[in-house]
Chain A
């Protein structure tokens, strides 16, 4: 019986089931091709087989991936934590993980209403419990009714629960002053990271000089560089202007693009607004300019807006790319391909562990959209607790509802604490000689520039370390404070930075900032 073996690379290779005849005798194939393992001489002189999966035979693009936010310095921080818990003496009593934008880990409290609804959804017997407010119950019931078998344990539609996508669309319309949003353009995702990686994957094609290039800021959130490395796409760096509060500059975009066109095919432009690690909140004018640039240069725009509620500085305001796009009229709003990303991990919720998120797709080709829908179906669906959480974020308690007052109180407290800490951080860091810190306009981080003495730079290089990694490692070992060196995000050659979150509680943050100050002074002196 003839059988057809499905072959993914495009060629169908007919093989007779009965016949063992091959086009080439196995013996003529190389040992590797025949699957015979390479022989390896081990330390004691014994020949042993090499493993199937080694550093040399694994996926080469995965080797190129780096993710500094959880990279070597964090691994060392975890080691130190272990040593501390085993009773080892250190110059500090705890490790402070100021490396990652994880609000709850730093003591921020969850929003009560959200957790009430999630509890009700998890264990619907609680719907009979009078200690839960009616508005929480009403939302829980609505969510459960949209779930298969009225259970959060069912898979949902791969694009996400229908009623949640409708609520997301309504939220976007309200946020953007009425600009229409189609729920069918909303894809719920496993955190924003998932949506970002999916879009980048969709975009990547070509070989050599036609390989897809993707523009991303320097500094950037290293999910982007990691994803581009893994996909084998070309990363096109555009520099944010540190002298101008990390603002974007169209002439710099143009420079980067023109240069990139010589060696790749630039097709996408990624913007993080508010920025990570830099915290800048782009002006409306700037966003318009970027949209115009993307339209003229035929780039798909990816707008990472996960910090959209984290805006602190006077005179700064969040303008969604979608809104600005539509306010620019049909010449742009009908044509520019835009994908916007949001998440439940940041803002005032800080629910990182739930992995909730969405993306909104504007002006995508219908056939590509069908491919996107197909692609996300393979992973079945995003986690349902995260979808439920997203529903509450976009559909929070309204005035008149029992939970409204408390909700607003909690939300306001969290956001004003962050605003306070943003200011405090900028202020204290700027009192340190050799450190200069741009205003933390938004997001959750400071990204100050640090002056590292020449002797320290030399010692770092002798050790094969980036100078700012050397600096941060020293800080970790001496103070227990874990930051991420600027080299993990990208920076102009010859400059050094670190990223520190503003998340610890205010009094702890004050202590932290003072320790950083002490360390910097000591370090500078030591290497002068």
Chain B
């Protein structure tokens, strides 16, 4: 209360209040850092202040942040970043030649040879060239034009930019955007912020979260009654579900997008995180081009990648890119203009991306260590994916689909009716009630399935598979024990 009010002098309301702020922003939710994480932060503070809890630490298994969970950065990447930050180190013989070589190349591409200069708004040109070459290598030679590459501040930045570009119309002509249920809630948040219409299509939990074109069709037909569907977003490998779509499925999706005249957005940030036998990452671009010119010269698409996941886990650097395919040249000019307003993505992130797409080659000094580190990280993740699925499936009332890829498990949990009723009494969504209990009792922070979307009447949570294996085992055990206890308590 202001001094004025305390003195009895009438105080005027604030200029900016809940009632007169941007109404779209009020609709935005982002569960990955939502209410449960705020409570987790509070508990951490309490622990630090010496408050006694049934646990000694809070385990933040809510967010796909590998380094926070102990994963080590790739040495080579950090060496080059250090060299770029402080080029005096180029004289230091502790650094290998291939690291120095890449640092020099990056610095030469920067204004005044400094990573402190703004870069071109689309991103440093030689980095975009390296990205294009990476894409070509990855996709078996299918050409990639560096001019179609836009570096971005994490993949999130590019995704939001594309959605922004696509949104238009009023009322029943308002742009509708198809996104999976469950989805990574950046999409729902961005669509709320932009006032676009979210069109949900359900992944099939009984078929390992696979995508079903009949379900896409159902969703788009229903949506046409009340909006103008123009975009189809797909996350592959999936978040939160981890499914790796089959090549056939990707073809079917592309065919569907063409038939229904939809712009395809392929979120592929987990492209190196593929674990399950028989699963393979197929880029949408590659499949598109293998389908021949009827598709490859017409379907409009944007593919997204990031430095935050895969084996690098460099979330804090906010590195990423998108590749745009078959974009109208006038729209592309508008896109280029739009990104220029924010000047450029962070240059350290651009440098990092350059190394990701242009890593040590077999004949280079850093190659062996690089491969060793990369393999270790990916193998550990694969092991933890398997372990997680195994342990959760042993718990009555918990069913866990195979974690085929990405970094999360999204098991289905059976909640007793009494618990559901209690949750409702407390004004909480049942799986939030469950997760809050788990947090308070065990100090483990997960995100309730309601934060990602799920079929009505089903409940899930998303947990990362990132803690070190030994710790993960303990966490899995605690959750299992909690689930049994919880079920008993509300039986």
Interface residues of A (CB under 8 A from B): 1-9, 13, 15, 17, 20, 22-24, 26, 29, 32-37, 49, 51-55, 57-60, 62-63, 65-67, 69-71, 78, 100, 102-108, 110, 115-116, 118-120, 122-123, 126, 129, 131, 147-149, 151-158, 190-191, 193-194, 197, 201-206, 223, 226-227, 230, 267-268, 298-300, 330-331, 334-335, 337, 349-355, 363-365, 367-368, 371, 374-375, 377-386
Contact = CB atoms under 8 A, between A and B. Distances in A.
A115 B85 contact: yes
A364 B15 CA distance: 9
A352 B117 contact: yes
A207 B157 CA distance: 28
B388 interface: no
Contacts of B117: 102, 104-105, 352-353
A234 to B, nearest CB: 14
A7 B198 CA distance: 6
Nearest to B5: A334
A298 B12 contact: yes
B116 interface: yes
B318 A190 contact: yes
B316 A381 contact: yes
Nearest to B200: A5
B228 A374 contact: no
B16 A202 contact: yes
A300 B30 contact: no
A375 B191 contact: no
A104 to B, nearest CB: 4
B330 interface: yes
A353 B110 contact: yes
A17 B341 CA distance: 44
Interface in B293-322: 298, 300, 312-318
Interface string B141-173: 000000000000110110010001111100011
A55 B330 contact: yes
Interface string B115-150: 111111100000000000000000000000000000
B316 A51 contact: no
Interface stretch (B61-69, B429-437, B482-490): B61-69
Interface stretch (B50-58, B258-266, B279-287, B469-477): B258-266
A123 B118 contact: no
A374 B188 CA distance: 14
Interface of B: 2-4, 11-12, 14-18, 20-23, 25-30, 32-34, 41, 63, 65-73, 78-79, 81-83, 85-86, 89, 92, 94, 110-112, 114-121, 153-154, 156-157, 160, 164-168, 172-174, 181, 186, 188-193, 195-200, 202, 218-222, 224-226, 228-231, 260-263, 298, 300, 312-318, 326-328, 330-331, 334, 337-338, 340-349, 453, 455-457
B175 to A, nearest CB: 9
A35 B85 contact: no
Nearest to A199: B16
User: Which residue of A58, A69, A193, A381 has the most chain B CB atoms within 10 A of its CB atom?
Assistant: A58
Contacts of B219: 5
B121 A70 contact: yes
A51 B326 contact: yes
A149 B300 contact: no
7 contacts: A6-B453, A62-B334, A63-B334, A70-B121, A267-B16, A299-B15, A365-B16
Given A8-B191, A300-B16, A380 B112 contact: no
B332 to A, nearest CB: 10
User: Which residue of B67, B338, B348 has the most chain A CB atoms within 10 A of its CB atom?
Assistant: B348
B226 A52 contact: no
B317 A7 contact: no
A24 B225 contact: yes
Contacts of B193: 201, 375, 378
Contacts of A33: 172-173, 224, 228
Nearest to A97: B111
Nearest to B229: A35
B156 A380 contact: yes
B72 to A, nearest CB: 8
A78 B336 CA distance: 14
A456 B315 CA distance: 53
B156 A379 contact: yes
Contacts of B32: 377
Contacts of B456: 1-4
A152 B110 CA distance: 22
A35 B11 contact: no
Contact of B67 (A35, A63, A148, A377): A148
B111 to A, nearest CB: 3
Given A35-B229, A118-B86, A152-B316, 17 more contacts: A1-B456, A6-B453, A8-B188, A24-B225, A33-B224, A122-B348, A149-B69, A151-B73, A201-B193, A203-B16, A203-B22, A352-B117, A367-B17, A375-B25, A378-B186, A383-B317, A384-B316
A355 B341 contact: no
B112 A107 contact: yes
Contact of B337 (A20, A67, A102, A148): A67
A400 to B, nearest CB: 23
Given A353-B115, A365-B17, A151 B316 contact: yes
Contacts of A154: 65, 67-68, 315-316
B86 A49 contact: no
Nearest to A128: B94
A353 B153 CA distance: 12
Nearest to B157: A379
B260 to A, nearest CB: 5
A3 B28 contact: no
A382 B337 CA distance: 22
Given A123-B79, A353-B119, A383 B164 contact: no
Nearest to B183: A6
A152 B172 CA distance: 46
Given A205-B23, A353-B346, A119 B218 contact: no
Contacts of B15: 267-268, 298-300, 337
B334 A377 contact: no
Contacts of B189: 378
Which 7 pairs from chain A and chain B are nearest by CB? A148-B68, A105-B111, A353-B347, A384-B316, A119-B86, A123-B82, A151-B67
Contacts of A78: 120
A267 B112 CA distance: 41
A276 B313 CA distance: 38
B114 A65 contact: no
Contact of B82 (A126, A151, A355, A381): A126
A361 B17 CA distance: 14
Contact of B226 (A13, A204, A300): A13
Contacts of A353: 110, 114-119, 344, 346-348
A204 to B, nearest CB: 5
A383 B455 contact: no
Nearest to A5: B200
B4 A67 contact: no
B455 A3 contact: yes
A385 B17 contact: no
Contact of B346 (A2, A223, A385): A385
B341 A67 contact: yes
A312 B298 CA distance: 57
A205 B32 CA distance: 27
